[in-house]
């Protein structure tokens, strides 16, 4: 009889361990974001306490947001605790070989290895590039569009290196011969004094 009881207790422990193991890694949906912690809905019955999330490597960090499907690792199968190991992309979110990142303010960065196209877009985005030297080259056309003014500052502005000895005529300066505003001044390129 004693042996039967020991076997029964062992079977209950194995069953309990299997249940806990099944609940160590689960998927759920982020229901709330509270600072650096999130609450994850595992099922109708289970909403975790605020749990931390892994930040990934230092170059690629994204805080989970409400509605994201996440993978939760729970120590000893604790139904209310754990740590979010990462966001699971929805089908169609990301194509193979592409990089995509969306920030909380709506700024998006995407790169397609297939086409070689890099896109950066955002309604609040202010892009600053500081470098010792900067060169932009294209084998095709280049375009700069702005709803506001475009300004270029430099010790010298060369519009075409083949013609570096020729200047742009400003309509603000009078002709040295007639004294009148230059009739051949550029209406497109504007310069300050």
Would you call 44 exposed, middle or buried from its count of C-beta atoms within 10 A (0-12, 13-18, 19+)? exposed
All domains of the chain in start order, with CATH: 2-88 (2.40.50.230), 92-129 (no CATH)
Q: Rounded to whole angstroms, how far apart are CA atoms 68 and 79?
A: 19
Q: Percent of the chain scored above 70 by pLDDT?
A: 79
Alpha carbon of 67 to those of 41, 42, 70, 164: distances in Å? 10, 12, 9, 57
Q: Rounded to whole angstroms, how far apart are CA atoms 138 and 118?
A: 14
Res. 161: pLDDT tops 90? no
DSSP symbols for 141-172: ------SS------S---S-GGGTT-PPPPTT
Identify which of 90, 73, 69 has the alpha carbon closest to the alpha carbon of residue 82: 73
Sheet holding 117-121, edge to edge: 98-102, 108-112, 117-121
Residue with the larger pLDDT of the pair 68 and 91: 68
What digits encode the pLDDT tens for the residues 92-130?
555 444 677 777 788 888 887 778 888 888 888 888 888
Give the pLDDT score at 158.
72
What digits encode the pLDDT tens for the residues 11-30?
999 888 887 777 788 899 99
| Most distant pair of Cα atoms in the chain: their distance | 123
């Amino acid at each position: 009889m004693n042996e039967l009881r020991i076997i029964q207790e062992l079977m209950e422990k194995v069953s309990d361990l299997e249940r806990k193991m099944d609940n160590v890694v689960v998927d759920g949906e982020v229901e709330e974001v509270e600072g650096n912690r999130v609450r994850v809905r595992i099922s109708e019955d289970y909403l975790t306490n605020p749990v931390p999330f892994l930040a990934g490597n230092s170059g690629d960090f994204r805080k989970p947001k409400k509605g994201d499907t996440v993978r939760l690792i729970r120590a000893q199968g604790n139904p209310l605790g754990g740590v979010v190991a990462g966001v699971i992309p929805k089908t169609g979110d990301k194509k193979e070989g592409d990089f995509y990142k969306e920030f909380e303010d709506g700024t998006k960065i995407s790169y397609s290895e297939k086409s070689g196209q890099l896109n950066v877009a955002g309604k609040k985005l202010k892009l600053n590039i500081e470098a010792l030297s900067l060169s932009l080259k294209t084998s095709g056309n280049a375009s700069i569009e702005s709803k506001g003014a475009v300004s270029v500052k430099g010790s010298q502005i060369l519009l075409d290196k083949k013609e570096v000895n020729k200047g742009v005529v400003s309509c603000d300066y009078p002709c040295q011969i007639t004294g009148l505003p230059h009739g051949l001044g550029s209406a497109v390129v504007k310069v300050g004094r």
